[in-house]
A = this chain, B = another copy of it.
Amino acid sequence: MEHTMDKIQAMLTPQSIAVIGASSKPGKVGYEIFSNLKNGGYNGELIPINPGSQEILGVPCLPTIVDCGKPLDLAIIILPAPLVYQAVKEALSVKTKSLCIISAGFKEVNKEGAALEQEITQLCSTQKTRLLGPNCLGLINTHHAMNASFANRMPKEGAISVISQSGALCTAILDWAAGRHLGLAKLISMGNKADLSEIDFLKTFTEDPETKVIVGYLESIGAGHEFIKAAEAAAMIKPVVILKSGVTQAGGKAASSHTGSLAGADIAYGSAFKRSGIIRADTFEQLFDFATALAMQPLPTGKRVAIITNAGGPGIMAADAVELSGLEVSILAHASATALRKKLPAAASVGNPIDVLGDADPKRYVDAVNTAMDDSNVDAIIVILTPQAMTRPAETARAIAACSESKKPILVSFMGGEDVMPGRDELVAANLPDYPTPERAVAALKAMFEYHQWLKRPSRVLQRFAVNRRRVERIIHRDIREKIFQMGEAEAKMVLDAYGFNVLPGRLAADAGEAVSFAEKIGYPVVMKIASPHIVHKSDIGGVKLNLTSAGEVYDAFDLMMLRVSQKNPTAQIDGAYIERMANPGREVIIGMTRDPQFGPLLMFGLGGIFVEVMRDVTFHIAPITEEEAMTMLSQTRSFSLLTGVRGQAEADIQAIANALQRISQLVTDFPQIVEMDINPFIVGEVGTDSVAADARITLAKTD
């Protein structure tokens, strides 16, 4: 690991670079990259490799990298795809520490390209040489004066590092940063991610003293679990803001459980991001709206916002946005109002928003900002300026900057265009994040606040329950051996029983006589449920009978059920009916799990019946889950208050549900063979009663 980080370091801060395929023809990528390095201030050793040229931009060319005769830190390859393999081989032969392949024509094109890409990647891995790309824009490290990309803009030194799965987006980012005079630290175009991926750069940037904020644009994430680990470790140290695109492309997999059918791909990403403290941007604009605020200002330690404005309307807009976002328009301390009353004109409003009036000079803004800064009822400050007759945007920006003490975040909105632009430039220069509208400033503040809350979350303590793991192991292994991938209710309940769930006494009856004799043993009333690996929604086809209270009822119910089910589903294999003690009445909830291909087990909770099926009122969380997180899953459903005893009902045993979620979490973490499961219903009584897993289904991963 240490070794691998060294190699990435060699790539980011190389002392020597070979540009294989450097060209002397302007407009060619091989020229652009070499010229960006040469003319961009890079002052390490720079060697153009081109067998057809003597020199490029005055630097002598070598025919091949082998001719360097020594290990270089980084080789950048810009050759037609068919020539790349040979070039990589040569680079490795002289122990080049890291490679960046700009060339396209690999996995993104066709199968042959994918095969070639894999060969190259394997070749590199034999020497543990790290590879960026192929099919990428290159990389930039402003603090190393290195523009190893074919983007013509080199940003100034800054605190934000960017990783992007789209090269074109990098050019848009660079152009946008230039327009706003904003610096960046590092920018990495990851291309096809044949080797180096977001996980590597998350780790690298976490350690990088020049990176204060990590920004990522991702279209796919490979190793979900590793990603979560790396992202969480990074987010503990510095903010990570990510835009994940492709969110609406449905997973398209057939799901046989409720949980599976309700959990879209985006829900898994959402859960993973939340869990790992990633600040999620929903749009490209938010990506840098959030990142600049996080890079420039301290985090708010609370949600109470003071708004300072020279215009009533935009002040109201800001207040609306604050309230809608879940932050609070602070009630200023009495002393603040008194202080402001003395300093501001009589017509000024000393409430919140603080209206410093249309003719406000810089001093009025300073007085208001200082007052808010000293007010213990204020956690963050939004400053709004509109360009009115007497307004001096640039001076005001400088004055505000001078009174920022890094105690509380200040976010600014200078609204307008040309007149306010000098002021906006001053703000950026003074590390004050600036937004064209108050709403965008508020959204950024909200993201900061949520990140602060995540940082302050209690430490995650996973409870391990004493369970009979061996028993479940035996059941699962036998099923898989026998190619049974859909566990019947009886078996699923044995599994749950082994993991500490209450299940009611019950047995599988093959005929009506057996059903009656089991019922007599179990004691009335009983429930009868069709047992078939092919029937998912039992009650829809008459496959469930509740509250059977006598032998006669059981006898009749069994025969009728067999008749009805075979009429409605003639091809289904019927194993008989499951006879079970009827549960005490209680609240029905559903607890489930579906395994996301990227992020693994995704737990679901919802109230049963219509709440899941019609209202889709469910929450998800990636396993393993803590008690705290389980409680949050419960409380975030809209219908939660039905469990806490609204409308005169007794409070349900919420703790029992949280406990069940944790046990399922442990079960599905212990057994990756389980790909989907539902406990539906899980019947919860009042506190003090036993909650029961009344029905359950478990699906195992198919094997050949």
Which residues does A use to contact B, with CB under 8 Å?
27, 29, 32, 104, 109, 150-153, 164-169, 171-172, 174-180, 217, 219, 243, 245-248, 282-285, 310-314, 316-317, 319-321, 323-324, 347, 358, 386-390, 415-421, 436-440, 540, 609-610, 613-617, 638-639, 641-642, 646-648
Contacts and interface: CB of A to CB of B under 8 A. Distances in A.
15 contacts: A27-B390, A109-B347, A167-B311, A168-B314, A168-B388, A172-B314, A172-B415, A175-B417, A176-B436, A248-B319, A248-B323, A283-B317, A284-B438, A613-B647, A614-B641
A417 B317 CA distance: 27
Given A171-B387, A347-B109, A642-B610, A178 B358 contact: no
Contacts of A310: 168
A317 B610 contact: no
A614 B640 CA distance: 9
B248 A320 contact: yes
Given A167-B358, A285-B439, A175 B316 contact: no
A372 B198 CA distance: 36
A634 to B, nearest CB: 14
A386 B177 contact: no
Contacts of A165: 313
Q: Which of A390, A419, A642 has the most CB of B within 10 A?
A: A419
B164 A313 contact: yes
A109 B345 CA distance: 13
Given A169-B311, A179-B421, A439-B284, A615 B617 contact: yes
A388 B610 CA distance: 52
Nearest to A358: B168
A174 B416 CA distance: 7
Contacts of A323: 248
A180 B104 CA distance: 37
A27 B314 CA distance: 24
Contacts of A438: 284
Contacts of A282: 439
Contacts of A642: 610, 614
A417 B180 contact: yes
A358 B191 CA distance: 13
A104 B345 CA distance: 14
Max chain B C-beta neighbours (<10 A), residue from A165, A610, A646: A610
Nearest to A152: B389
A262 to B, nearest CB: 14
B284 A172 contact: no
B166 A283 contact: no
A166 to B, nearest CB: 3
A417 B312 contact: no
A172 B419 CA distance: 9
Contact of A615 (B169, B436, B638): B638
Given A109-B347, A152-B389, A320-B248, A419 B175 contact: yes
B285 A417 contact: no
Contact of A313 (B174, B245, B324, B358): B245
A347 to B, nearest CB: 7
Nearest to A616: B638
Nearest 7 A-B pairs (CB), nearest first? A179-B417, A166-B313, A168-B311, A175-B416, A248-B323, A172-B415, A168-B386
A320 B246 contact: yes
Contacts of A609: 647
B285 A436 contact: yes
A645 to B, nearest CB: 12
Contacts of A387: 171-172, 175
B639 A313 contact: no
A109 B355 CA distance: 13
Nearest to A640: B614
A386 B166 CA distance: 11
Nearest to A390: B27
Contacts of A610: 639, 642, 646-647
Contacts of A616: 638
Given A313-B168, A386-B169, A421-B179, A283 B614 contact: no
A418 B319 contact: no
Contacts of A613: 646-647
Contact of A284 (B219, B317, B388, B421): B317
Contacts of A648: 540
A440 B285 contact: yes
Given A171-B386, A179-B418, A437 B285 contact: yes
Contacts of A416: 171-172, 174-176, 179
Contacts of A639: 610, 614-615
Nearest to A167: B358
A461 to B, nearest CB: 32
A641 B614 CA distance: 7
A169 B358 contact: no
A321 B609 CA distance: 32
Contacts of A247: 320, 324
B313 A217 contact: yes
Given A245-B316, A420-B175, A389 B169 contact: no
Contacts of A32: 389
Contacts of A109: 347
Contact of A248 (B168, B324, B386, B437): B324
Contacts of A417: 175-180
A323 to B, nearest CB: 4
A283 B641 contact: no
Given A169-B314, A610-B647, A614-B642, 12 more contacts: A29-B389, A168-B386, A169-B311, A171-B416, A175-B387, A176-B416, A176-B436, A247-B320, A282-B439, A283-B440, A285-B437, A615-B638
A438 to B, nearest CB: 7
A571 B389 CA distance: 62
With a 10 A CB-CB cut-off, give which of A174, A175, A310, A418 has the most chain B CB atoms: A175
Contacts of A177: 417
A283 B437 contact: yes
B316 A415 contact: no
A283 B439 contact: yes
A389 B179 CA distance: 17
A258 to B, nearest CB: 13
A319 B250 CA distance: 13
A168 B438 CA distance: 14
A614 B615 CA distance: 12
